[in-house]
Structure 1
């Protein structure tokens, strides 16, 4: 077979992801596909994967992709004639502690919300399904009957065969040396056998992907780590079709395979590998044994499955797998190069994700956008610094084990910390801040007080900082608090066409007077919310766009790719150079008047106004807006003046009740006020109408906006059948806390799920937000007439559900 000179899509890498993408492209009718594998199919990581096929993931769409993978594997052998070794033998997830059992039960509730079967089972029922396991020291387990296992190499070959049957061409022993890029777009590859021009290129290079992408100015943060398992000699007492058993409290998993037992682990202190690069000739290779490293796992396993003490080890295996800084894979079109896609960094879930990944990315390539909201794994969530090799090396020691660690609420990574800091960092530490991290940025979660230390003690109930957070919330409500929000993403958009460009990109009308601030959303062509922002007009030709920290790379890419080629407008990321302090609470007006000498009254400084003010000897921009539901201002200043501004505020606030507040308090306060968070409560599948943000849309503004036609049709259709609602648990005391994906029941049926939650200290209730769906529309009448419950850890609790926020629904405090 001769290498073609041109094609529609070139896929780099012949592991399970690359073969799945090729297979699914042909299913969509894109048959002119070339897959290039430097050695042989599966020879990197795929061939030695454990082949576990579980379905429950952290979010609905991740679960949908995993569910589809199982469905695909069910019929793939019949379609292609290639054996896959797939069997649906179920899985058991074991809990040794009450906390782990609560985690699993919350997962079971979440599974029901996604339509998955998940049953809480007793130790005795575990023994029935896994007779060789010791169960007298466990609390219980979750049984998921539709999970299973597969032979990774065989299923990859089946997808490769299916791709060939659909017209794709697969070339082994063909190394891609570089990607062709012209005018910022991928247009083909150069291989060791010649050049191939292509409309789109996909990097599926596994653990080679980071270095290969970096050579083209593209950031794919991943690092290989050693992954260990053993395979025993045949065990006569081992049942056939034994369920996969996960004992996360012992970092281990067990899989029956042809009468033998495979024992694998995700140990807490992993061993990064390939830091100086992966050898080019690495092919079906394994790494040196390290029995000392594996021995603690084996010792616990012998206690769990006593028959192992009398069974020999046939194979001790150590092979590399790639991990990302947040334990989620990398998928989608790269922000640096258009037409260049990636599917890599699978964190040991590549097999179970492969079908869904292939289907999703194939649709993404065809349509130019993701087929569903995939923010969890979208490559644009990453920041370029995260490809730093030392950062990746150190983080990888933790991320492998984090897969089986407790998934506590507010869980923080401990490695590779301190990368990004605001100018106030050391001052905040001195004030007792317990720092949390997001995309490398250090942010205060809460401030120590009394006997509450500046550290998080994890729990599914109120954690040790609960009272400290309450004090911060109440101080914000009664006096005045200062929040370091420097991590918020900030862009400057300037040029003679800046207004017209932003007005096309934003759903709201940003063509306002200089010194006005507009809250709005950037929408996609389907009407979904790509970004939730404020836009401040600085001059006739200059604007400042403020967004969330996690959207920094994504939003910059979105803005730049939606600038017309002939537009005179430039987008600059000014986040690092423009720290921001939020001064919030009824005492904020007096404090700012004291440090500036300016008039901050309603008449002189109404809500939505933004202007430069003096602060001490410095200059700052004060914008009257809030994310906590109290009177307040955001202060932006240049980094060189930031500490002076901070010190001036603290000095003047000393006798005015000024206190520090952290991000746990922000989350509580914004939940009471119903303020949405992009990535949780709103995203690219949610329209402003469904999200209750129609007030931020200028439906009929001159020139229109992206997604306008969809919103006009939705508005004309009347009451939406999907709607974001506010949820309050009607329980005594603090009650169970809501976090995400808890099912919302309406009249005995699951009708929606929680998107985010927190305890509201101003109204003293456990709160959440979430979407309800109803064929007749979600309106006040439905909410008033229905019986609502929220399921938490397999128990239902009565709830009040409404459209308006539970705190200050008329925003009287915000506009006081």
Structure 2
């Protein structure tokens, strides 16, 4: 193939709908020398057999923004390219068969309004009117989105490809990428081989992995981790049904089913609870527009429900029984962004059977990210850097993927825990916590005690949208922290040792706060981007003149380390992940000092160990380091102890604690205490698109430092004034629960949504944090309004505050 160039600005690997979208959007931004290589034929992997459902509403505001963009793009593609996309806005209906599901879809409807999506809650009678073929005998409620649609998946991809070609992209079919040349943290080029026997190499400034279910394999070629696993995905298409006309897309998640009318036939698809992973030994080299063997027994339970739900299916014959692969990720969110292991390898893969509705927005966002060198807005839900290295383990992917496919239509209860592939990462205190009744949750692979069961109580979650079975347990843990003393395991939090001759100067460049502090000082700070947005929320402890410890949230440890490495330059600094080297126990509450005095001869007074300082201590028969900080708003210490002495430290503290009212606590307690105190949660309340001043964290930024990332943006915002403020809310009614994304109404109008929510057991009601527009307004103006929070369609009056409702002067942490 003589027309394949020897050099390119970017090589895109994979010609499904996502790869075509990336090429389309890069060329739309004016990129030249864009090359897309497809091993077989465009769409021949999974795109060609997708159902083509195009919905707007996703789990977060930015994911919804991307989905809305997709359907708007597809609506205009045909006019632009001349390729018929089959895109039709037929609307969609989701029905609930249980009260729990009704609350879920009504909460989603409320969220949709906050995100600017048209949505309507409808009764069973209204469902029947819009979908007369449906058996609604046990339907409880429904929601209707009139702008949702459906389209022809292959033609959407081909239209995107044509649009890219029209602007100069080179798209080559039947050319397989056989290898990637690497130098340090960069890919330098792509080796290819064509079916006609020719082969060659393309020097490339950037590479984009859009290889779909081959994405894991291509990732390994690039030295990157792209965790995904192909699973079998089933649907049937009926014989033509007389009189069948256009209908909305229908989802019945309680029966794992979706329905789509197409050309007088009915399609029934399934996301069954236990999926069938496929291709563990590798995908056949010849795979192209292939189907997998039928497994009617696996699909039969779904079909039985469907015949009851849609009686006309029982009359119609089955025209097609289809089984084809789709790729799924460990958390049901796709992978997008720059790979953390490399500096010029980008990823857009693992779309969990929603690739058509996601591809337009994902391609747009990735192209803009590549153009600017910064995320266009918060993409934390899908940023590839959220994936931990171990999640590329093939056995892990096999086990987890049996669950994740079905979770798409499972009840999306708050605090729902994954059931498969558990126990990978355990803290040094894991067994001891289990002995005391811990009920574990999982985050980034870490097993973490979320709450403690009482003697005789079932050690498992009973999920609900109301108060779950652990509500009273966490309330008791919360009370212990507020009135006596509690202890919980923080070992999963990331620990990055930053050391070397240039460590102080480097951290002063990356952090907003002043890092030129005495040894033993702890600094709360953020990594800011050039817009003043928050890329990381951390504490930094100066251990020696040349060494610091950066403590990060467990979920963002890899992303935070990657941010540091990408800004390191030529400085004489070494960054080491030491997370697993130390266990951490937090001892918090008014009696925390009493407990530490009982187990250590060291001085924990304010004179020796004031808030925001660390010291080395003796603990029992061993040694530890204590950090006097708090994420729960009480007097307390985080106790860092080597993994070798961790069990001894736990035994010493636990035994001494029996004389001081010590209670073991979990992560749910920490969340409820921190939200009472108004402490921000990274990824929810603060993200890369939230300005540090608008987040109420201006006190952490020291602009008298001459050079740190984001300084100019902070100064500009101070000059221009805030456009929004992060406000704390407390519901006046103590009964409803808040989680996140509930709409915020100001004087009767939706002005935003909650970024996080939890129950405030001390304050006596659900607490939320959310941004409120305030351009040209004073703090008093913001608080002068009346506020309500929409909880599943019911407006609940809320008290608003710009200061923490609990201990606003932070006197309790400093006693």
- Of residues 338-347 and 175-184 in structure 1, the stretch that sits farther from structure 2 once superposed is 175-184
Runs of 4 or more off by more than 2 Å in structure 1? 450-453, 774-777
Residue 220 of structure 2, aligned match among 214, 230, 246: 214
Following superposition, the deviation at residue 635 of structure 1 comes to: 0.5
For 2:758, the equivalent position in structure 1 comes to 758
SS in 1 for 2:62: helix
1:708 aligns with 2:711: yes
For 1:695, the equivalent position in structure 2 comes to 699
Aligned partners of 1:620 and 1:635 also within 8 Å: yes
For 2:292, the equivalent position in structure 1 comes to 287
Residue 260 of structure 1, aligned match among 261, 265, 270: 265
Following superposition, the deviation at residue 365 of structure 1 comes to: 1.1
Alignment of 1:701-780 (within 5 A): 701=705, 703-718=706-721, 720-731=722-733, 734-777=734-777, 779-780=778-779
Following superposition, the deviation at residue 214 of structure 1 comes to: 1.6
Aligned partners of 1:247 and 1:253 also within 8 Å: yes
Cα distance in structure 2, aligned partners of 1:451 and 1:406: 27
Aligned partners of 1:515 and 1:536 also within 8 Å: yes
1:178 aligns with 2:179: yes
For 1:239, the equivalent position in structure 2 comes to 245
Following superposition, the deviation at residue 776 of structure 1 comes to: 2.4
1:680 aligns with 2:684: yes
Following superposition, the deviation at residue 50 of structure 1 comes to: 0.3
Residue 549 of structure 1, aligned match among 534, 547, 554: 554
Following superposition, the deviation at residue 602 of structure 1 comes to: 1.2
SS in 2 for 1:579: strand
For 1:806, the equivalent position in structure 2 comes to 805
Alignment of 1:337-352 (within 5 A): 337-352=342-357
Residue 389 of structure 2, aligned match among 367, 371, 384: 384
Following superposition, the deviation at residue 451 of structure 1 comes to: 5.0
Cα distance in structure 1, aligned partners of 2:695 and 2:19: 36
User: How many residues end up aligned between the 2 structures?
Assistant: 809
Alignment of 1:405-444 (within 5 A): 405-444=410-449
1:94 aligns with 2:99: no
For 1:593, the equivalent position in structure 2 comes to 597
Alignment of 1:9-20 (within 5 A): 9-20=10-21
Structure 2 runs not aligned, ≥5 long: 194-198
For 1:619, the equivalent position in structure 2 comes to 623
Aligned partners of 1:481 and 1:661 also within 8 Å: yes
CA-to-aligned-CA distance 1:693-720 (integer Å, 9 cap, x gap): 011111112x3210100001111223x1
1:199 aligns with 2:199: no
SS in 2 for 1:218: coil
Aligned partners of 2:676 and 2:760 also within 8 Å: yes
Q: TM-score, normalised by structure 1?
A: 0.98
Aligned partners of 2:187 and 2:222 also within 8 Å: no
CA-to-aligned-CA distance 1:239-288 (integer Å, 9 cap, x gap): 22x10000000000000011100000000010000111111211000000
SS in 2 for 1:202: strand
Cα distance in structure 2, aligned partners of 1:749 and 1:782: 16
Aligned partners of 2:180 and 2:221 also within 8 Å: no
Following superposition, the deviation at residue 455 of structure 1 comes to: 1.1
Aligned partners of 1:101 and 1:140 also within 8 Å: yes
Cα distance in structure 1, aligned partners of 2:191 and 2:223: 17
Following superposition, the deviation at residue 129 of structure 1 comes to: 1.1
Q: TM-score, normalised by structure 2?
A: 0.98
Cα distance in structure 1, aligned partners of 2:463 and 2:127: 28
Cα distance in structure 1, aligned partners of 2:736 and 2:370: 43
SS in 2 for 1:735: coil
CA-to-aligned-CA distance 1:67-115 (integer Å, 9 cap, x gap): 0000000110011001100000000001001110100000000000010
Cα distance in structure 2, aligned partners of 1:477 and 1:568: 44
Cα distance in structure 2, aligned partners of 1:215 and 1:78: 39
1:604 aligns with 2:608: yes
Cα distance in structure 2, aligned partners of 1:774 and 1:480: 40
Aligned partners of 1:200 and 1:365 also within 8 Å: no
Alignment of 1:295-314 (within 5 A): 295-314=300-319
Aligned partners of 1:424 and 1:646 also within 8 Å: yes
Cα distance in structure 2, aligned partners of 1:668 and 1:680: 14
Cα distance in structure 2, aligned partners of 1:603 and 1:320: 64
CA-to-aligned-CA distance 1:130-165 (integer Å, 9 cap, x gap): 111101111010000010000000111111111100
Aligned partners of 1:452 and 1:465 also within 8 Å: no
Aligned partners of 2:13 and 2:38 also within 8 Å: yes
Cα distance in structure 2, aligned partners of 1:782 and 1:52: 45
- Of residues 205-214 and 567-576 in structure 1, the stretch that sits farther from structure 2 once superposed is 205-214
Cα distance in structure 1, aligned partners of 2:170 and 2:486: 62
For 1:85, the equivalent position in structure 2 comes to 86
Following superposition, the deviation at residue 450 of structure 1 comes to: 4.7
Cα distance in structure 2, aligned partners of 1:707 and 1:581: 34
Aligned partners of 2:533 and 2:690 also within 8 Å: yes
For 1:168, the equivalent position in structure 2 comes to 169
CA-to-aligned-CA distance 1:737-789 (integer Å, 9 cap, x gap): 11111110011211121011111111111101111113324x42123310111
Cα distance in structure 2, aligned partners of 1:784 and 1:24: 43
SS in 1 for 2:273: coil
SS in 2 for 1:293: helix
Cα distance in structure 1, aligned partners of 2:357 and 2:654: 52
SS in 1 for 2:713: helix
Alignment of 1:778-793 (within 5 A): 779-793=778-792
SS in 1 for 2:180: strand
Cα distance in structure 2, aligned partners of 1:370 and 1:614: 46
Following superposition, the deviation at residue 187 of structure 1 comes to: 2.4
Aligned partners of 1:255 and 1:263 also within 8 Å: yes
For 1:468, the equivalent position in structure 2 comes to 473
CA-to-aligned-CA distance 1:302-353 (integer Å, 9 cap, x gap): 0001011110001000000000000000000001111100100000110000
Aligned partners of 2:496 and 2:549 also within 8 Å: yes
Aligned partners of 1:780 and 1:802 also within 8 Å: no
Cα distance in structure 2, aligned partners of 1:780 and 1:339: 44
Alignment of 1:487-636 (within 5 A): 487-565=492-570, 567-636=571-640
RMSD: 0.9
Cα distance in structure 1, aligned partners of 2:12 and 2:184: 21
Cα distance in structure 2, aligned partners of 1:691 and 1:626: 19
SS in 2 for 1:396: helix
Cα distance in structure 2, aligned partners of 1:278 and 1:526: 43
